Structure 1
Amino acid sequence: MSTSSEGTARTIPGWRHIYSGKVRDLYASEDPADTRILVVASDRVSAFDFVLSPGIPEKGALLTRLSRWWFAQLAEVPNHLAEGEIPDAVVDRAMLAQSLEMLPIECVVRGYITGSGWAEYRQSGTVCGIPLPGGLQNGDKLPEPLFTPAYKAPMGEHDENITYAKVVELVGEDRAAELRDASLALYARAAAIAEEKGLILADTKFEFGTDGAGTLRLADEVLTSDSSRYWDAEAWKTGTTPSERMASFDKQIVRDWLAANWDKQGEPPLLPEDVVERTADRYRELIERLGA
């Protein structure tokens, strides 16, 4: 009973599959009195808004371990975790969570310029429409972390960068401010913890939901290799090329291979075995470096 990279959800006794995202599968209890959700991380890997094949071996277990560790580091922040016993079939890759009303915002925080932000900056001197000083290089630290939200698109559609004004339009002024302030504070705390481990947290995304009382709760995954870019701090200081400075502990290997071997037309190609293996190694190395 495994979750394939193509997206087949597990059969879990006592639980009913209700939704599959790019990586996670959600289950509701067959007991109508139990409102908790079982969040199961698969071995699926996504890039450029496509789920790829094959998956990364043990990725779901590694992501779950990292999320649990970070939730513990950030225990002062309300989160989605719920008490209870996790089914044996998914004990290493699942979290029990409160049922929340998820907000349709990916709360992205960027502390360094790279990726799509770097591409935009080269064109217009901005990141997500926010003007930045001239002379920045790929991988440079930003003058201050930026809150650059995105609208979370349904599976198969592209997430869309949006302005803060659009966030206000979607969730209201008070909630938008709460999302922005919580995201920036979480990033600052996590970046400081990573720095103690010799790592740079270049950027990350948070997702939030609200419980029945309206309390904002950190949800889904948090600060994993899928939702964040981590770099080696020493390599960033001493590297002479972008690839040396920004060798990341995540699926950047997958992104780079796809960018070089796929024109983003039609279905993406199968990932080579060496790309899969190297990506799995980087996921494991990050956990070792953090001591998670």
Structure 2
Amino acid sequence: MTNPLGLEGFQHVYSGKVRDLYAPLGPDGAPVPDRLMLVASDRISAYDWVLDTPIPDKGAVLTRLSLWWFDQLADLVPNHVVSTDVPAAVAGRAVIVRRLEMLKLEAIARAYLTGGGLEEYRAKGSVCGVPLPEGLEDGSRLPEPVFTPTTKAPVGEHDLPMSPAEVEELVGADVAAEVSRLTRAILARGNEIAAERGILIADTKVEFGRAADGSGGLVLGDEVLTPDSSRFWPAAAWQPGRSQPSYDKQFVRDWLTSPESGWSRSSGEAPPPLPERVVEQTRAKYVEAYELLTGETF
């Protein structure tokens, strides 16, 4: 396999929309069986497209914020992190993790109604088959977090909403119930902590896996409660009935769907490069979210 970063002692395994996976090599040159290195790039995706324009420092922000959240969630669910001892070339944006068999679904929970969930609610009064109260609008707080999973589509294809029955068919009733419980618990804990820092977490996406031999319970993998996987809103500006200001990549989505970009989601064509000011403002939003949540200077 190619080795895009030229990392000695590691073999490139896979590249997703944002992250790259490498296998550490043992003394015999063979991949270490139960370990991987997860490298967060500065790539950014929107509307299931990986954009041509990177966001500087994004990989480091996502990695450091995920590590902080893994600590806050440690009593709820185990995570995949083994070590932050990584090659200098990827220091700060990579972690050594347990190799897991990942569940083939995106586990999503919503505490507020917006985005694709709002579109489905307006059409059907529900999200992923979960009925919701009447009279909700963009930004409405839900009575309690709801589990609204999607398929995990290959790069370049669209994730599709999954009903509770489809999740059970994919992973079994017991695992489906546990994924739902954990995803909603992660979002609830995230909002408890973020609310003290002036941030509302509207929704979040997490991923779970299991040990390759099937032993043990679910393990939280990938990233958690970052501006890439969640919608962060400033609590002081929250006002249902309109689109909310945000600390996440909604800023990029809004530019892409604005007349200025000249791009249409329905065109089937790749989005245009981001202008420098959108890149700078997006980086600033990511860093601001990190600093508000952790209390640390990036």
TM-score, normalised relative to structure 2: 0.90
1:33-48 alignment runs, 5 A limit: 34=32, 35-48=34-47
Picking from 17, 20, 24, the partner of 2:15 is 20
Which residue in the other structure is 2:123 paired with? 123
1:1-292 alignment runs, 5 A limit: 9-31=4-26, 32=30, 34=32, 35-76=34-75, 77-83=77-83, 85-211=85-211, 212=213, 213-236=215-238, 239=239, 242-243=242-243, 246-260=244-258, 261=261, 262-264=263-265, 265=267, 266-290=269-293, 291=295
Q: Are the counterparts in 1 of residues 58 and 286 from structure 2 also a CA contact under 8 Å?
A: yes
Residue 104 (structure 1) shift: 0.6
Q: Are the counterparts in 2 of residues 9 and 25 from structure 1 also a CA contact under 8 Å?
A: no
Q: Are the counterparts in 1 of residues 110 and 148 from structure 2 also a CA contact under 8 Å?
A: yes
Aligned with 2:82: secondary structure?
coil
Aligned with 2:202: secondary structure?
strand
Q: Which amino acid counterpart does residue 264 of structure 2 have in structure 1? A: D
**CA–CA separation in structure 2 for the residues paired with 1:122 and 1:259:** 20
Aligned with 1:44: secondary structure?
coil
Residue 242 (structure 1) shift: 2.2
Which residue in the other structure is 1:5 paired with? none
Percent identity among equivalent residues? Answer: 53
Aligned with 2:245: secondary structure?
coil
Cα distance per residue 1:114-158 (max 9 Å; x no partner): 111112222222222322222112101011111001110111111
Q: Are the counterparts in 1 of residues 202 and 231 from structure 2 also a CA contact under 8 Å?
A: yes
**CA–CA separation in structure 2 for the residues paired with 1:173 and 1:116:** 25
Q: Are the counterparts in 1 of residues 85 and 95 from structure 2 also a CA contact under 8 Å?
A: no
**CA–CA separation in structure 2 for the residues paired with 1:55 and 1:9:** 16
Q: Are the counterparts in 2 of residues 26 and 40 from structure 1 also a CA contact under 8 Å?
A: yes
Residue 82 (structure 1) shift: 1.0
- State the number of aligned residues: 281
**CA–CA separation in structure 2 for the residues paired with 1:225 and 1:83:** 23
Aligned with 1:280: secondary structure?
helix
Q: Are the counterparts in 2 of residues 254 and 275 from structure 1 also a CA contact under 8 Å?
A: yes
Aligned with 1:271: secondary structure?
coil
Residue 187 (structure 1) shift: 1.3
**CA–CA separation in structure 2 for the residues paired with 1:218 and 1:289:** 24
Residue 235 (structure 1) shift: 1.0
Cα distance per residue 1:171-217 (max 9 Å; x no partner): 11111111111111111111101111111111001100001324210
Aligned with 1:138: secondary structure?
coil
Aligned with 1:242: secondary structure?
coil
Aligned with 1:178: secondary structure?
helix
Does 46-55 or 210-219 show the bigger shift?
210-219
**CA–CA separation in structure 1 for the residues paired with 2:74 and 2:168:** 27
**CA–CA separation in structure 1 for the residues paired with 2:240 and 2:48:** 31
Cα distance per residue 1:34-86 (max 9 Å; x no partner): 33100000000000100002110110011101101101111222110113621
Which residue in the other structure is 1:3 paired with? none
Q: Flag the 1:205–1:84 CA change in 2: closer, same or farther, 3 A.
A: closer
Gaps of 5+ in 2: none
Q: Are the counterparts in 2 of residues 9 and 20 from structure 1 also a CA contact under 8 Å?
A: no
**CA–CA separation in structure 2 for the residues paired with 1:282 and 1:168:** 37
Cα distance per residue 1:4-48 (max 9 Å; x no partner): xxxx93121111111000000000012137331000000000001
Q: Are the counterparts in 1 of residues 139 and 240 from structure 2 also a CA contact under 8 Å?
A: no
Gaps of 5+ in 1: 1-7
TM-score, normalised relative to structure 1: 0.92
Does 119-128 or 157-166 show the bigger shift?
119-128
